[in-house]
Chain A
Amino acid sequence: MTEERDAVATEARDAIVIGAGPAGMAAATLLARHGASVLLLDEQATPGGQIYRGIELASPRLRDVLGPDYRHGAGLTAALRDSGAEFCPQSTVWQVTPEREIWFTRADTSGRISASVVIVAVGAMERPVPVPGWTLPGVMMAGGVQALLKTAALRPAPGEFVLAGAGPLLWLVAAQCLAAGSRPAAVLDTNTGAAQLAALRLLPRGLRGAGWRYLAKGLTAMAAVQRAGVPIHRAAHDLTIEAADGTACAIRFAAGGSQHRIATRLVALHEGVIPAQQMTRAIGCEHEWDAAARCFRPTADASGWTSVPGVLVAGDAAGIGGARAAEHAGRLAALAALHRLGRLDAAARDRLAAPERQALASHRALRPFLDALYAPPAAILTPADDVAVCRCEEVTAGAIRAAVRQGCLGPNQAKAFLRAGMGPCQGRMCGPVVSEIIAAERGVSVAETGFLRIRPPIKPITLGELAALEPGPVLL
């Protein structure tokens, strides 16, 4: 049985896994089963990550509404609990050194623990969707709305919300809200015919392995929304969210050759997901530009080894593949770690890795098609001048362009010019957009433009929490 101790011993571990989503849970479970001492840290109170959030406490009725792919997570959490891996919830990791020392905060106290191997399994985040009005209260990400359903039995008020954007999650959330008895006022689909055409050639290869099942799932969700009679506006563009009394009151957009306006107090935006890079960047891992997925990702080999010795990355944090792919990637990382720890010889590692690699490829088959189909629209990659890009410091796209004209060459200089990326979120929300805007203005690639330099602490900590770091043997 997994223990959730109040006190966490600070002795070094064989492995520390950061993030208790599918990759992290699968990795920690396998490491523990092979006798390695493993500590799994997560910010949430229960394991599951975002995809299986709240799974342990979800009622049967809610599990039905969220569907069989959500229910699958219950097996992962049960295996984790049974494995003997030490799970440390509500723990915020704010620094990982290249020497694999983990610094984290839990219940107002901080501690550090070192490990022979670190597995970063921090998952994905929703791509920022900077449209006019996206900073208004009442505008959320679609995944945020889904999180409220998963964890708090909260659904958007029926008929009083609009889903806008593109991507599998948008349709899934729409279908799940319908199943929960809450009908969206409309779905604004920003996907274009041109993107569909471009994606088509990738479809045949995408259907191999489990690919066709993902396609079927997506089509089923779309059909459910259509069948329910929800107004769907195809190829919607020029989205603008209007405010009244400081909160969202309506969304305006163009579609089908005319202008539309829908009164709504809740808008859920979504334009796909990207790897959460804060942790791997702060460790100093090399990153590379993924042109197809239009995002940076840490450079890693087939096992997940990054450029920093002893540091693995697994799951969506290494490149978007989805929950089932993440699970297999987590096991591959664990097998690589077990070999490094001397607990598995190369032959055993490779034998156990073979079916995981096969399953990983199967679950990733449709990804190139999805990347092409849901390529983010230019309007959110390089938004209009008056749109706020850095939400924290309220820096507009226009201000970033002006800085480029004054000689700003990259996102790190943009910090000095404008403070973009220097607020509490530390560039999580604006970083990808700032790089895109600067690249477009300068006429160079995003790869060449680069990304914000991320420095610890990657989550805000108080001086009290810092001061609580004593060289003593026990935390908390």
Chain B
Amino acid sequence: MFERIDMFERINGGAALRLDFEGRTIEARAGDSVAAALLAAGVLATRRTAVSGAPRGPYCMMGVCFECVVEIDGVGGRQACLVPAADGMHIRRETGARDLV
């Protein structure tokens, strides 16, 4: 759905990163948000809602809509569009209601 344009790469290079998304290795570039990395890897649905279990994905990309919340390195409720991707990050979808403890 999205494709990387190499000639638009950041002036500082954008080193290659590897993230783990639910057991699958995805490539990212330094400077990507986690949401951008997921979209670049073709992951559209990044969570399921707590109410009906419907799939949702990044929508606003600016921290407003909370649709892109994922679990990052065991911490839930992270806004993927605001968290910079880092090498070795473990990302999981959130499904259903969150545990309180």
The 8 Å CB contact of A157, one of B3, B32, B55, B81, is: B3
Q: In the bound complex, how far is the Cα of B14 from the Cα of A269, in angstroms? A: 29
Stretch with Cβ within 8 A of B (4 or more), from A131-139, A187-195, A312-320 = A131-139
Closest residue of B by beta carbon distance from A424: B66
Min CB gap A160→B, angstroms: 7
The 8 Å CB contact of B3, one of A43, A155, A391, is: A155
The 8 Å CB contact of B39, one of A61, A141, A148, is: A148
In the complex, are the beta carbons of A144 and B59 less than 8 A apart? yes
In the complex, are the beta carbons of B82 and A247 less than 8 A apart? no
In the complex, are the beta carbons of A59 and B65 less than 8 A apart? no
Interface residues of A in 38-53 (CB under 8 A from B): 43-45, 50
In the complex, are the beta carbons of B67 and A43 less than 8 A apart? no
In the complex, are the beta carbons of B8 and A247 less than 8 A apart? no
Closest residue of B by beta carbon distance from A66: B8
In the complex, are the beta carbons of A143 and B9 less than 8 A apart? no
- Indicate whether A181 reaches chain B with its CB closer than 8 angstroms: yes
Interface residues of B in 42-92 (CB under 8 A from A): 44-46, 49, 51-52, 54-67, 69, 75, 77, 81-82, 84
Asked whether A157 and B2 contact (CB < 8 A) given A143-B60, A391-B67, the answer is yes
Interface residues of A in 97-125 (CB under 8 A from B): 125
In the complex, are the beta carbons of A141 and B33 less than 8 A apart? no
Q: In the bound complex, how far is the Cα of B45 from the Cα of A266, in angstroms? A: 12
Min CB gap B96→A, angstroms: 13
**With a CB–CB cut-off of 8 A, which chain A residues contact B84?**
45, 90
The 8 Å CB contact of A143, one of B7, B62, B75, B82, is: B62
In the complex, are the beta carbons of A65 and B8 less than 8 A apart? yes
Q: In the bound complex, how far is the Cα of B56 from the Cα of A276, in angstroms? A: 23
- Indicate whether A9 reaches chain B with its CB closer than 8 angstroms: no
In the complex, are the beta carbons of B1 and A143 less than 8 A apart? no
Q: In the bound complex, how far is the Cα of B33 from the Cα of A276, in angstroms? A: 22
In the complex, are the beta carbons of A424 and B55 less than 8 A apart? no
In the complex, are the beta carbons of B62 and A144 less than 8 A apart? yes
Interface residues of B in 4-49 (CB under 8 A from A): 4-12, 14, 29, 31-33, 36-37, 39-40, 44-46, 49
In the complex, are the beta carbons of B2 and A137 less than 8 A apart? no
Asked whether A265 and B1 contact (CB < 8 A) given A43-B82, A137-B57, the answer is yes
**Which of B39, B58, B61, B67 gathers the greatest number of chain A CB atoms within 10 Å?**
B61
- State which size class the interface on A falls in: 35 or more
The 8 Å CB contact of A138, one of B8, B49, B57, is: B57
The 8 Å CB contact of B65, one of A57, A58, A181, A425, is: A425
Q: Is the interface of A mostly helix, strand, loop or mixed?
A: loop
Min CB gap B95→A, angstroms: 13
The 8 Å CB contact of A135, one of B40, B54, B64, is: B54
**With a CB–CB cut-off of 8 A, which chain A residues contact B46?**
137
Min CB gap A196→B, angstroms: 28
Q: In the bound complex, how far is the Cα of B4 from the Cα of A157, in angstroms? A: 9
**With a CB–CB cut-off of 8 A, which chain A residues contact B67?**
135, 391
Closest residue of A by beta carbon distance from B52: A394
Closest residue of A by beta carbon distance from B36: A152
In the complex, are the beta carbons of A424 and B64 less than 8 A apart? no
Asked whether A135 and B2 contact (CB < 8 A) given A148-B36, A148-B39, A425-B64, the answer is no
In the complex, are the beta carbons of A137 and B60 less than 8 A apart? no
Q: In the bound complex, how far is the Cα of B51 from the Cα of A60, in angstroms? A: 45
Given contacts A140-B57, A391-B56, A393-B51, 8 further A-B contacts (CB under 8 A): A50-B62, A57-B10, A136-B55, A137-B45, A148-B39, A152-B31, A394-B49, A462-B75
Interface residues of A (CB under 8 A from B): 43-45, 50, 54, 57-62, 65, 90, 92, 125-126, 135-141, 143-145, 147-149, 151-157, 160-161, 180-181, 246-247, 265-266, 276, 391-394, 423-425, 428-429, 460, 462
Complex A-B: 29 CB contacts under 8 Å: A43-B82, A54-B31, A57-B11, A58-B11, A59-B7, A59-B9, A61-B7, A62-B8, A126-B64, A135-B56, A137-B46, A140-B58, A141-B59, A141-B61, A144-B59, A149-B8, A152-B4, A152-B37, A153-B5, A153-B8, A154-B5, A157-B2, A160-B1, A246-B45, A265-B1, A265-B44, A391-B67, A394-B52, A423-B66
Pairs of residues from A and B, 10 with the lowest C-beta to C-beta distance, nearest first: A137-B57, A144-B61, A153-B8, A152-B36, A424-B66, A137-B44, A137-B45, A62-B8, A57-B10, A425-B66
